[in-house]
């Protein structure tokens, strides 16, 4: 945890509000991305395995296009996955500083698994493309040659390739699910101050009921939203996806039916989620936002149902839009819960910040607190200065007249003494802070004026 402590700087209450906002925005990017990545990977693997139906090549095409959809290019993985996750680690580390909680640590584990998963999934994607080319070339060659031994050879290589290929996908999915799980783990831990103590029991943090319920919600939502996104990409007005009717029918059936099926499960999850919210995080907004999400789900289901029944696709863009709203409401709801759960701790942090900023100001000498000029004079200056006679330095009654009405110059001299009079040695720098120099300057000036009267 040491590396996380190093990125923490005490924050003012305003900054903490800002960080909370940043965290919400981060999740609004990260969670949908992870959901679609997870959903597409699962569906892609399932379609790749669907065999012996005579439609293999169509399923193969769909499995490939599903994974292509989420691995369009590498900046997508950085922009929607890795960078938001790093931002979340940073935000939680600041917001939960001094609680000893392991939230940021769980998120870091999630980050590591996400990176591993992405490496596997991108390899899976490229393997798909290679295999596609390979298939294309070899099918012609085999037909031409009419040689059975070549055909056997090809079968052998092809099945070894298949196995390796499935392994990439399998590891990718496994790591991705762990990344999802650790993310949920972190979010849920942040909602439960009772578990912030430095050493809560391992099991109670890793496998608590809220974590499991929320993880299942994420999985189901992933399957639902991926189907909706597929629906949108293939069948939005002016979509440029091509394929024959048979293929498009497979995609349409898949996305409408899986979309409806999994969306129907989300309400159960939302209700379960409300039941398992830690009491410290309960807040009226959670109910309100859950209710709005439930209504939106009803609308989405209705769109999907009508489209299945009427066999048209006129609500495709609206369905996606409603889904974006559902995600946004569910994520913001969790952030309200976090706000409630962490409100007490923010008082601690604010206090810590005040202490820190006081120390910092003292160090820089910009603090407004009163320092006594008289004490400084008696402690530092009296050894060399008197008002009316020469000690080591000249008497103030002789030197101060030139500074009358030029307080800033006097302060400046005290902070940076320069050689002035050849009859005296140079005055050593007294190492005062700006506020101290000003206090002592005001003090000697006032005494000098008093003496003059
Ligand atoms: C170690 C001895 C020493 C100490 C301590 C010391 N001074 Fe001086 N100070 C001098 C000497 C020597 C000069 C004359 C320097 C010159 O003319 O070049 C001087 C000059 C000054 C002058 C006159 C500057 C001018 O423009 O003629 C002021 C004002 C002054 N000191 C203020 C202070 C204050 C305030 C303190 C305490 C924070 C202080 N000094 C502490 C030795 C000291």
Distance CA 58, CA 442 (A): 88
Considering the domain delimited by 373-452, tell me its CATH architecture: Orthogonal Bundle (1.10)
Q: 385: which strand partners?
A: 390
State the pLDDT at residue 314. Answer: 85
Q: Percent of the chain, pLDDT > 70? A: 90
Residue whose Cα lies nearest atom 23 of ligand 1: it is: 399
Is the pLDDT reported for residue 32 higher than 90?
yes
Taken in order 374, 376, 377, 383, the sign of the CA dihedral is: positive
State the pLDDT at residue 362. Answer: 75
State the pLDDT at residue 128. Answer: 78
State the pLDDT at residue 414. Answer: 92
Residue whose Cα lies nearest atom 38 of ligand 1: it is: 381
pTM: 0.71
Distance CA 150, CA 110 (A): 46
Q: Output DSSP code: residue 229.
A: H
Residue whose Cα lies nearest atom 13 of ligand 1: it is: 393
Atom of ligand 1 at shortest range from CA of 428: 1
Give 312-332 pLDDT, tens digit per residue: 888 889 999 999 999 999 888
Give 247-284 pLDDT, tens digit per residue: 888 888 888 999 899 999 999 988 888 888 777 778 88
Residue 300 confidence class, pLDDT cut points 50, 70, 90: very high
Distance of alpha carbon 153 from its chain centroid, rounded?
49
Please tell me which residue, 327 or 242, carries the higher pLDDT value. 327
Lowest mean pLDDT among 6-15, 101-110, 230-239, 318-327: 6-15
State the pLDDT at residue 9. Answer: 73
Residue whose Cα lies nearest atom 37 of ligand 1: it is: 381
Residue of 376, 383, 417 to test ligand 1 pocket, by largest number of atoms within 8 Å of CB: 417
Residues with CB under 6 A from ligand 1: 376, 380-381, 383-385, 392-394, 399, 413-414, 419-421, 424-428, 430, 440, 444
State the pLDDT at residue 94. Answer: 84
Give 346-373 pLDDT, tens digit per residue: 777 777 778 888 888 777 766 556 678 8
Atom of ligand 1 at shortest range from CA of 440: 35
Is the pLDDT reported for residue 209 higher than 70?
yes
State the pLDDT at residue 345. Answer: 78
State the pLDDT at residue 4. Answer: 65
Q: How many CB atoms lie within 10 A of CB 11?
A: 20
Residue of 382, 392, 393, 420 to test ligand 1 pocket, by largest number of atoms within 8 Å of CB: 393
Q: How far is the CA of 452 from the centre of ligand 1 (A)?
A: 20
Q: How far is the CA of 417 from the centre of ligand 1 (A)?
A: 7
Residue of 411, 422, 426, 427 to test ligand 1 pocket, by largest number of atoms within 8 Å of CB: 427
Atom of ligand 1 at shortest range from CA of 444: 35
Distance CA 85, CA 79 (A): 10
Measured CA to CA in angstroms, residue 207 lies from 16, 123, 184, 210 at distances of 29, 31, 11, 8
State the pLDDT at residue 278. Answer: 79
Residue of 372, 377, 380, 384 to test ligand 1 pocket, by largest number of atoms within 8 Å of CB: 384
Measured CA to CA in angstroms, residue 379 lies from 121, 370, 372, 387 at distances of 71, 16, 11, 15
Atom of ligand 1 at shortest range from CA of 400: 29
**What is the chain's mean pLDDT, rounded?**
85
Q: How far is the CA of 368 from the centre of ligand 1 (A)?
A: 25
Q: 390: which strand partners?
A: 385
State the pLDDT at residue 373. Answer: 86
Transcribe 289-314 into DSSP letters: HHHHHHHHHHHHHHHHHHHHHH---T
Q: How far is the CA of 366 from the centre of ligand 1 (A)?
A: 23
Q: What would the mean pLDDT of 151-177 be, rounded to a whole number?
A: 81
Enumerate the domain spans of the chain: 2-359, 373-452
């Amino acid at each position: 945890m040491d590396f996380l402590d190093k990125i923490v700087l005490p924050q003012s209450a305003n900054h903490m509000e800002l960080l909370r906002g940043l965290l919400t925005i981060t999740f609004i990017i990260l969670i949908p991305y992870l959901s679609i990545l997870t959903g597409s990977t699962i569906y892609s693997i399932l379609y790749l395995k669907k065999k012996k139906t005579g439609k293999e090549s169509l399923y193969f095409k769909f499995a490939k296009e599903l994974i292509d959809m989420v691995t369009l290019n590498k900046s997508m993985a950085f922009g929607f996955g890795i960078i938001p996750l790093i931002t979340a680690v940073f935000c939680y580390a600041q917001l939960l500083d001094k609680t000893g909680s392991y939230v940021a640590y769980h998120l870091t584990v999630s980050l590591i698994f996400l990176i591993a998963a992405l490496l596997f999934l991108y390899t899976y994607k490229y393997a798909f493309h290679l295999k596609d080319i390979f298939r294309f070339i070899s099918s012609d060659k085999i037909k031409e040659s009419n040689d059975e031994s070549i055909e056997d050879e090809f079968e052998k290589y092809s099945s070894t390739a298949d196995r390796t290929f499935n392994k990439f996908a399998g590891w990718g999915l496994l790591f991705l699910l762990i990344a999802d799980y650790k993310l949920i783990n972190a979010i849920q831990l942040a909602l439960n101050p009772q578990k912030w103590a430095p050493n809560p029991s391992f099991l109670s943090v890793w496998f608590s009921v809220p974590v499991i319920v929320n993880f299942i919600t994420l999985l189901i939502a992933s399957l639902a939203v991926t189907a909706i996104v597929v629906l949108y990409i293939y069948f939005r007005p002016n979509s440029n996806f091509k394929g024959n009717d048979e293929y498009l029918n497979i995609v349409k059936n898949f996305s409408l039916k899986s979309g409806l099926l999994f969306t129907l499960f989300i309400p159960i999850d939302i209700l379960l989620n409300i039941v398992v919210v830690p009491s410290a995080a309960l807040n009226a907004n959670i109910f309100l936002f859950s209710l709005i999400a439930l209504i939106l789900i009803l609308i989405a289901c209705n769109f999907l149902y009508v489209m299945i029944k009427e066999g048209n696709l006129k609500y495709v863009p609206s369905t996606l839009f409603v889904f974006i709203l559902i995600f946004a409401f569910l994520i913001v709801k969790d952030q309200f819960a976090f706000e409630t759960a962490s409100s007490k701790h923010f008082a601690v942090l604010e206090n810590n910040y005040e202490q820190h900023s006081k120390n910092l100001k003292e160090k820089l000498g910009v603090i407004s607190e009163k320092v006594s000029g008289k004490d400084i004079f008696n402690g530092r200056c009296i050894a060399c200065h008197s008002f009316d006679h020469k000690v080591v330095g000249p008497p103030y009654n002789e030197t101060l007249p030139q500074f009358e009405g030029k307080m800033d110059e006097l302060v400046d001299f005290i902070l940076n003494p320069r050689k002035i009079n050849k009859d005296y040695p140079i005055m050593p720098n007294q190492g005062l802070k700006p506020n101290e120099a000003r206090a002592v300057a005001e003090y000697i000036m006032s005494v000098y004026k008093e003496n003059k009267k």
